Structure formats: structure tokens, C-alpha cells
Amino acid sequence: MTTTPPNARTAIVCAWPAMLLAALLLLPFLNTPFTIDDPLYLREAQHALVDPLHPQAFSMVWSTDLKLRLSQILPGGVAVPYLLIPTALAGCAEWAGHLTQLLLLLAAVAATALTALRLSLDGAQARSAALLTAACPAVLGMAGTVMPDIPALLFVILGMERILAWRDGRRWTQALLATLWLTLAVLTRSQSIIVLAAAFVFLLDGITAEEIRASFQSFPARFLPVLAMPVAFFIVTALTNDPEAAGPNILTSMLELPGGLGLVARNLCAFLTHLLLVIPLTLPWLLLRFRQISSAPIVIGLLVAGVLSLRAGSVAVLAGATVVALLDILWDAIERRDRVQLALWLWLFLALPAVIYIHLPSKYLLPSVPAAVLLVVRLLAREPRVSARWLIPAFVTAGALLGLLILLGTRSLAETQRKAVTDLIVPHTKSFERVWFAGHWGFQWYAEAAGAWPVTLEPPSPVPGDIIVVSQLDMPRFPRTWTARKVLQQVDYPNSFGRVMDPQAGAGFFSSVYGYYPWLPGSGELLHSPDFEMIGYS
């Protein structure tokens, strides 16, 4: 008796509760102001309307307080602006950008359910995988922005689903689509190229030496998507490169910054901590497997925690717990010769190349979320226990609550940035006064829209009589070099819904430079210092 291959309709039937949950959580945030790196991608989308083949071929001021080509500020990611063209056509309305993200997330949730079905999980298990994805705090938090991490999640899961379909069906259209989706994933977040390792293992007949050899002998063409994707990536990149790109880009500049092993240790700790705090992997895996875990992973986890504590303090304990879980997943896969579990384990590491970057926020882990939830659901399917029936509802509820707090904290941050522009900049630009601003994130987006000019470390510079509005939230460089100031007015960052970016408290959902925690109530100390200052230049 043959079974009918899973299709999109059956996947949506399984995923609809998760899709409904995501919609209910995100629809109230459609009008959240743009924040963090949103302006970069919105500007790319606007430029793509003028120069469709070169979306990064223009200059702007960003976090270095220097005017650079966008190809220097954002290495890679050329696929992102095309997804935001509808938003650009809608006048860059907030609701249009956030609605686009919601629709992409709903597609990713359905694709996760479809992938679960392709891995021989039943409908209830596919529903659980979809729910864990929709309620993942990191996913919900990034769905409240227009940054490219939700699209990266979607393209990776679509590509891997087509890899599994190609392995089983051997239809050339499946191979073509697998190549297309995975290429788009890498064109969205370049570190996602690590997914090729997981795709390679999925395409094998098994993980023993004999099975690997047989895979190459019986049908070597099965690996064509793994070989074709890098070629397609480099071709598209060459065609869309900024024709006027010059000088080192921001990535090479970051790699030259002092930090060395200390920077790598901090980012590694962030990567491991995210898998416990905002990705449903470490905690559910350890809760389900704590009786079977051998002593070796525990000892190694303690050693790693001890080393990382020199750089990260007590949060290294969380990183050590994730090391235990990762080692147990790997050892269990090898011991049982489980090809699928080994592939999913490799899929978890898509963000790892970023350990050499200046930070490693949880958003870089989004393309690995399907691997995490599929590992947990497969473990529950393999070892069903009455006592574990609470696990999925508990983690979906906890994840949704934390995700909601992150969304509220992000909205509070974004509204503060927009309010600073409304209160400190708009009245003066309406009076045709020259107003400058020092700061970035969403503050820059609304400041430029109000007619203010960015100050830079290079001329032109303010002159006596000008006004400069300074944001302390995003640590611009210019105010550190400039002291001739008279504070005229201030706007504070309220603490109504907690903080997602608070270096004093240690909250750094969008950047591990600020802290390892995704959300915290916030520090009282920061409440008594101004976050935006309107300064008269004298």
C-alpha cells in the first residue's frame, strides 16, 4: 500500500492553530514604528524601485557616523529589499511592512508542518512543530520588525523541505526549487550557507561508511542542489553588486577590531544562551532526556561554562546547559545511526560563522528554529510518555508570553525614538531651522523624514546657532567627540513594558553587545538619565 505524499493543503490543516496564534499575537503590532536596522532595508527597497539590479548602490550614514555605500554597511543580503517593495510602494507605511512579515511567517509555519510530515511525523506532531515555531520568542520578536530574519527562516525551511522531496521523489523540478529556495536563503542571510552541510546529510542513504559510499554510487546526481546553490549564489551576487563599491566594507572593518578570543567567547556564549532562552531546544531536550544523558556531555558542559564565565559571568551556566544538550543530540544520533537527527543537529549551527562578527544576536538563529522544534517533536514521538504531554502546551504558552513581552518592549523602544523626533525635531524643522541628529535605528528613519540632517565624523558639521538632537540609546560615535553643548530639552525612554535593549540591565534582544537576555524589566538607573537630548550648538 502506498502512502500519499504530504502536500501544502495537509500542511495548512495541521498548521492552522499555529498560524492563528501567530496572527493573534502580531496583528496588534502592525503599527509599531520602525526600529533598529529597519531603516537600512527600507532604504534599499526604495532604491530598488529606481535601480532594480543594484539595490545597494547608494550611500547613507549609519552606525559608524560616516557616509558609506550601503554595500559597505550591509555585506550580502541583496534579496531582502525586493520583499519590501510592496512596503515602499505603500509609502513605507508601518502596517505594510509588518503585514508583509506576518504573511511570510505564516508561510514559514506551514512549511515547518509540511517538513515534519515529510519526516514521517503524524498530523498531531506536525501541529506541535508548527506551534513551537509560531510561539518561539525569537521568531515573534523579529516578526515585529522588517529585518530579513523571517524571510531567511522561510527560505531555509522551504529549501530543506524541497531537499527532502527531491530525495524521495527524484523529480528535477524538486531539485530546481531546492536550489532556488536555498540560494534565496543565503542571499538573505549569508551565514545560512552552512545549511548545505545539513542538506548533504539529508540526501545520504545513511551515516555509516558503507551507506555514504552507496549514496554516491547509486544516484550521485542527488547532490546536485548542494553543488548548484553556491554557483547560483555567486552569479546573482555578481549581477547585483554595487558597481561603485569601493574600500573595505563594514564586515572586514569589524573583523579588524580588537577583541580576539574574548570576542569569540562572548559571541559563542550568546549563541549557546539563545538556544536556551529564546529557542525551544535546550530546556525541552534536557527535560526529556535528563535520565539518559551520559556523564561525558555534562563534564564538557561544565568545563565550557567555566571557561566562558571568565568573559560572560554567571550567564555561562546557561551556555553550559546548551553544550550538554548539543552533545547529547549528536551522540544519540551517532549511536542510533539516525541520519535525520544528525542533519537537524547540523542545521542548528547556521549562525555559528557570526562568532567572529562584532555581535551575535538571537535573530541570526531564526533559520535554525525549524531544526530545533523538529528535534524536540521527533524525540517526543520516539519516547512518548504520559508525563511529557504537558511539554508542548507549556513551551508554547511560555514562548508566546515571552514573545509578547519582547514585542511590547520593542514597541516601547520604537515609539520612544519616534516621539523624540516628534517632540525635539519636528517643531524646529517646521520653522525652517537647521536641525542635525546624532543617532540611528528608527530614530534616524523618522528624523530624516522630518527634514533633519545626520551629523558625521567628517564635514559638513553644525555651526553656531544650529540644533543637534542626540540619541543615547544606540551609542552613536559623534557625541563622544563633541563637547560644545547646552542641553535645551530631553525625552526619556519609559519603562512601561520592560526593555529589550538596556546595557545596564543586560537586555540585548537585538544585539548581544547590550546583553544576553532577550527582555528584562529594565534598570532603575537608566530611568533617571535622558535618552534623547536637544542641544544648542554654541
Q: Are 403 and 421 within one domain?
A: no
C-alpha cell at 238: 555578481
Q: Are 170 and 313 within one domain?
A: yes
Partnered with residue 438 across adjacent β-strands are 470
On whether residue 3 sits in a domain, the answer given is no
pTM: 0.93
Report the alpha-carbon distance of residue 108 to residue 466 in Å, rounded.
Answer: 49
Q: Are 401 and 488 within one domain?
A: no
Q: Are 318 and 423 within one domain?
A: no
For residue 126, the model assigns a pLDDT of 96
Q: Are 368 and 477 within one domain?
A: no
226-284 pLDDT per residue, tens: 999 999 999 998 898 888 876 555 555 445 544 567 888 999 999 999 999 999 999 99
On whether residue 293 sits in a domain, the answer given is yes
On whether residue 250 sits in a domain, the answer given is no
Q: Are 311 and 443 within one domain?
A: no
Angle (CA) 63-525-502 rounded to 5° is 35
C-alpha cell at 522: 529594565
On whether residue 1 sits in a domain, the answer given is no
Q: Which helix (H) or strand (E) holds 153?
A: helix 149-169
Report the alpha-carbon distance of residue 165 to residue 176 in Å, rounded.
Answer: 11
**Cβ neighbours, 10 Å, residue 167:** 20
Is residue 103 within 8 Å of residue 83, measured between CB atoms?
A: no
The owner of cell 505603500 is 90
Q: Is the peptide bond before 137 cis (omega within 30 degrees of 0)?
A: no
Q: Are 453 and 400 within one domain?
A: no
Average pLDDT estimate for 522-538: 54
Q: Are 494 and 372 within one domain?
A: no
The owner of cell 549551527 is 349
What is the DSSP-derived secondary structure letter of residue 487? Answer: E
One DSSP character per residue, 155-173 reads HHHHHHHHHHHHHHH--HH
Average pLDDT, rounded, for the chain:
89
Q: How many domains does the chain have?
A: 2
Report the alpha-carbon distance of residue 536 to residue 436 in Å, rounded.
Answer: 10
179-216 pLDDT per residue, tens: 999 999 999 998 999 999 999 999 999 999 899 999 89
Partnered with residue 489 across adjacent β-strands are 534
On whether residue 335 sits in a domain, the answer given is yes
Average pLDDT estimate for 29-40: 95
Q: Are 174 and 206 within one domain?
A: yes
For residue 8, the model assigns a pLDDT of 82
End-of-domain residue from the set 367, 390, 407:
407
Residue 527 binned pLDDT confidence (cut-offs 50, 70, 90):
very low
Q: Are 421 and 403 within one domain?
A: no
On whether residue 6 sits in a domain, the answer given is no
Q: Are 345 and 308 within one domain?
A: yes
- Alpha carbon dihedral 167, 170, 173, 174, in 10-degree steps, equals -10
* Whole-number percent of the chain with pLDDT over 70: 91
Domain of residue 393, residue span: 11-242+257-407
Residue 502 binned pLDDT confidence (cut-offs 50, 70, 90):
confident
On whether residue 66 sits in a domain, the answer given is yes
On whether residue 475 sits in a domain, the answer given is yes
One DSSP character per residue, 392-443 reads HHHHHHHHHHHHHHHHHHHHHHHHHHHHHHHHHTHHHHHTT--EEEE--HHH
End-of-domain residue from the set 349, 376, 407:
407
Q: Are 362 and 436 within one domain?
A: no
**Cβ neighbours, 10 Å, residue 329:** 23
End-of-domain residue from the set 378, 407, 436:
407
Helix, strand, coil shares of the chain, percent, nearest 5, are: 65, 5, 30
- Within 13 A of 381's CA, how many CA atoms are on the CB side? 20
